[in-house]
Chains A and B, each alone.
Chain A
């Protein structure tokens, strides 16, 4: 432990008492956190769980005193590390605490690391700053730290820049930076959210292991209940700036008292699609579909190779059924969706409703666009911020000449909105007035307003809170039953895929690793990669259920 530890008396390491955070905004003050209290002992992990906007990240940043003061303020509350009061502590004092006794790791390691510094410089900076180490001494310590966080052959990695590292490696470097001075308290703000599931599992394992070895306390901020089960000794459930329930993890998970906790726990997408009768006629089929991006070099831009984003994929989708495409980032699953919609160039046959469509140009595709639609991952990016909801939904109708007079126009849009569970009167409002879940509903309304037969769903639930995810999954299932829609469901989230798919295709590096009926894939996966994916996604649930 750190030598200059003056507060090694009894009592908790971190004490937060009736903390409040207020932001001064133009439209009046916003209370982001209201009267939050918790304690954290040495060597213990406390998870703060909540959905977006619950105030969990703001709470974490208050401990670091890194909020945008003076726009943010603490009307009440105290944060003590040992005996030292942190709220309102002078800046010099806080600087000596950050990185030395309290460290933090962030969600997105690519933006948290300086892109112009190599690994050695990133990590050594903390050592030179706080311990006054020489460059040579720091270098030895950096190697030791990189080894500690499990970066293979650290010596060869010292000169690498962040963009040369994979997502998981970047997060490991972040952790190495955070641990450089052996802090008493590590704040982890959604440290695995931006990572693929298999990498997530590795990082969580690493954090647990490091905690055992170094004896630090971890304040874990997350929205993922699976991670809470796996990591935390105690849990505090936050919503709308308040802690509504707190206690030992197992107790809260198995016997939730507050309605909100119950709702969160019940929110995980459940069930599987129910089918009956014979197999319906096929709607969409691809044969040996390829999307290769040429790599050009030299003066004459000769093609020296290809990035094989999608490399020979066969899809068979029957009317009213769902094929789930599973893969981690970079597996080519999104590119596959775009190729099928003919938004990017591809090789190989694509037939829709018995007709070859891969030879058609943009204009020739237009009549077919009505029947094949798409819903994207990010509901904030997929709606034009400058158009009203009515205009957004109307756009496709206009292209295909489906709008009549002014009066019926509003009715058609209202009907589409009501279809997805929104109020038809909302069509005059703008996208920014809606929550993430509502926006995703609008995006779905835009797609189904055309009465399509086939929709590509490109990670439609990934950017949403857990409780909203389940609602969107229910909505999609409901729409499928009602209109006999065929879905190509692209996701990295196996829980959601299981809830919707009849058939599953597991992709890696543009190729199919394993495919088959959903039931079979989930119950008895054959390939190691599939097994690893399933283990990472469902392991903690099984611990919790068991």
Chain B
């Protein structure tokens, strides 16, 4: 595909903002790595050889009896007894670099939990004996995934709503604008409080609830772009050619609104991540046991004698959000037609 000169200039501008460019690469590189969190931090071996046969325990659940154990339940590979069983049959186990998953409890702590950082638990453990490093890796993935999904979904809804309002205008616009004003003035945090009192919210319910309130963020910019652009001569010319409204919206107007939308997206992303973290910190977010950065933050607050909890949560969150903000700056530079670098 041929890149238009305009987009090439935008990409160059994006790269010229070194800080934002590096932050973007870092943000998504870490995200890509954490997407394979199961290969990095897992309490099951990645590969296991037993009696001449190969097993992939991190993908498939094998009963303990398969390796000569007594129980029908899934094997606990961290159990010294199982290790012995496998060693007996000339077996070996290939472990992930971190031998803990987000919910693995280290029962062999030399001190009561929360345990400080050590060679075994690089960032220590939380107050339930779970490895903080593993929880951070899974937590980063969860937060970014949540933020990205919220961003994509709310921009689809927001752009659609803004486009329709801006293009058709009139009564439709008037009613929708008033509705959005009322909607936006609702205290969504309290509504979520009520929701979580009624049932335990999961990933998808939280996403839906936040989506209900976050889609309005983009409506204003997109609507303004459409209001401005719908009287452009080239839109009038398309109308005079007999082009239908749908095609005009998609082909002629949407590309205009995309600049404003894309500039806005990183802010929706950070907003989503922050909202999720906030809810988790209050204990109203993801179900207990989920690897969440907000929960880690809450633990840090509850266990001031274990500063590695609070410090880790703070550093990870601020790093993630700062990188996202630098990314937003670079995106803004990229789409700014007057931006020059000297």
In the complex, the answer to whether A343 meets B240 with C-beta atoms within 8 Å is yes
| Chain A residues whose CB sits within 8 angstroms of the CB of B239 once the complex forms | 343
Q: Which of A337-391 contact B (CB under 8 A)?
A: 338, 341, 343, 365-367, 369-370, 372-374, 376-378, 381-387
1/0 per residue, CB under 8 A from A, across B247-262: the answer is: 0000110010000000
- Chain A residues with CB under 8 Å of B342's CB are 24, 70-71
Stretch at the interface among B36-44, B151-159, B194-202, B228-236: B228-236
A387 contacts which chain B residues (CB < 8 A)?
251
Judge if B182 is at the interface, Cβ distance under 8 Å: no
Contact flag A370-B233 (CB < 8 Å), given A71-B342, A384-B252, A430-B5:
no
By a CB distance below 8 angstroms, the chain A residues around B234 are 381-384
Contact residues of A between 372 and 421, Cβ < 8 Å to B: 372-374, 376-378, 381-387, 395-396, 399-400
Would you call A343 and B4 a contact (CB within 8 A)? Answer: no
Most buried by B among A370, A381, A430: A381
Which residues of A sit under 8 angstroms from B233, Cβ to Cβ? Answer: 376-378, 381-382
Cβ of A325 within 8 Å of any chain B Cβ, yes or no, is no
- B234's nearest neighbour on chain A, judged by CB, is A384
In the complex, B241 has a CB within 8 A of chain A: yes
Contact B238–A395 (Cβ < 8 Å)? yes
Neighbouring A residues of B5 by C-beta, 8 Å: 430
Find out whether the CB atom of B340 lies under 8 angstroms from the CB atom of A373. no
> Contact at B255–A396, with CB atoms within 8 Å?
no
| CB <8 Å contact, A430 and B4 | yes
Q: Does A216 contact B (CB under 8 A)?
A: no
Q: Compute how far the CA of A256 lies from the CA of B4 in the bound complex, rounded to whole angstroms.
A: 44
| CB of B94 closer than 8 Å to a CB of A | no
Cβ contact within 8 Å between A343 and B241: no
Chain B residues positioned under 8 Å from A466 (CB to CB): none
Task: Provide the residues of chain B in CB contact with A24, threshold 8 Å.
Answer: 342
Contacts of B237 in A (CB 8 A): 374, 376, 382, 443, 446
Cα A411 to Cα B90 in complex, Å, equals 74
Contact between A369 and B242, CB atoms less than 8 A apart: yes
Answer yes or no: A450 CB below 8 A from chain B CBs. Answer: yes
Question: Is A71 a contact partner of B340 (Cβ separation < 8 A)?
Answer: yes
Q: In chain A between 63 and 115, which residues have their CB closer than 8 angstroms to a CB of chain B? A: 70-71
Question: Is the CB of B243 closer than 8 A to any CB of chain A?
Answer: yes
Q: Whole-angstrom distance from the CB of B5 to the nearest CB of chain A? A: 7
Q: Are A399 and B241 in contact (CB under 8 A)?
A: yes
Contact at B242–A341, with CB atoms within 8 Å? no
Q: On chain A, which size bracket covers the interface?
A: 20 to 34
B52 to chain A, nearest CB (A): 60
Contacts of A71 in B (CB 8 A): 340, 342
Q: Nearest chain-B residue to A456 (Cβ)?
A: B240
Closest A-chain residue to B239, C-beta based? A343
Q: Is the interface of A mostly helix, strand, loop or mixed?
A: loop
B-side contacts of A373, CB under 8 Å = 240-241
Known contacts A381-B233, A383-B234; is-contact A374 B242 (Cβ 8 Å): no
Give min CB distance, B40 to chain A, whole Å. 42
Asked whether B241 lies within 8 Å of A395 as measured between CB atoms, the reply is yes
In contact, A381 and B340 (Cβ under 8 angstroms): no
The complex places the Cα of A523 from the Cα of B232 at a distance, in Å, of 38
What A residues does B242 contact at CB under 8 A? 365-367, 369-370, 396, 399-400
A71 to B238, CA, bound (A): 39
Closest to B13 in A: A26
Residues of B contacting A382 with CB < 8 Å? 232-234, 236-237
CB distance from A449 to the nearest CB of B (A): 10
Residue-wise interface mask of A (233-262) relative to B, using a CB-CB cutoff of 8 A (1 in contact, 0 not): 000000000000000000000000000000
By CB atoms of chain A within 10 A, which of B234, B239, B255 has the most? B234
Distance, CA A370 to CA B243, complexed state (A): 11
Q: Mark A324-345, 1 if CB is under 8 A from B, else 0.
A: 0000000000000010010100
C-alpha spacing A376/B244, complex, angstroms: 20
Which of A369, A377, A385, A386 makes the CB contact (< 8 A) with B241? A369
Indicate if the CB atoms of B340 and A450 lie closer than 8 Å: no
B-chain residues with CB within 8 Å of residue A443 when the two chains form the complex: 237
Instruction: Assess the A386–B240 pair: CB atoms within 8 A.
Output: no
| Given A386-B255, A395-B243, A430-B4: A376 and B236 interface contact (C-beta under 8 Å) | yes
Query: How far, in Å, is A431 (CB) from chain B's closest CB?
Result: 9
**Alpha-carbon separation in the docked complex, A376 to B340 (Å):** 32
Taking each of A71, A377, A386, which has the highest tally of chain B beta carbons within 10 Å of its own beta carbon?
A386
| Residue with the highest number of chain B CB atoms closer than 10 Å, among A24, A373, A396 | A396
Q: Give Cα A71–Cα B340 distance, bound, in whole angstroms.
A: 10
Q: How far is the CA of A450 from the CA of B238 in the complex (A)?
A: 13
Q: Are B243 and A381 in contact (CB under 8 A)?
A: no
Question: Does B236 lie within 8 Å of A450, measured CB to CB?
Answer: no
| A535 to B84 alpha-carbon distance, docked (Å) | 109
* Chain A nearest Cβ from B175, distance in angstroms: 14
- List 13 additional A-B contacts (Cβ < 8 Å) besides A382-B232, A384-B252: A365-B242, A369-B240, A376-B237, A381-B233, A382-B234, A382-B237, A383-B234, A384-B234, A384-B238, A400-B242, A430-B4, A430-B6, A432-B6
- Chosen A-B contacts, 12 in total, with CB atoms closer than 8 Å, are A70-B342, A71-B340, A366-B242, A367-B242, A369-B241, A378-B233, A384-B255, A386-B6, A395-B243, A396-B242, A400-B242, A443-B237
Binding site for A on B (CB under 8 A): 4-6, 9, 232-234, 236-244, 251-252, 255, 340, 342
In the A-B complex, the 9 residue pairs with the closest CB atoms: A369-B242, A382-B233, A396-B241, A376-B233, A366-B242, A381-B233, A384-B234, A374-B240, A386-B255
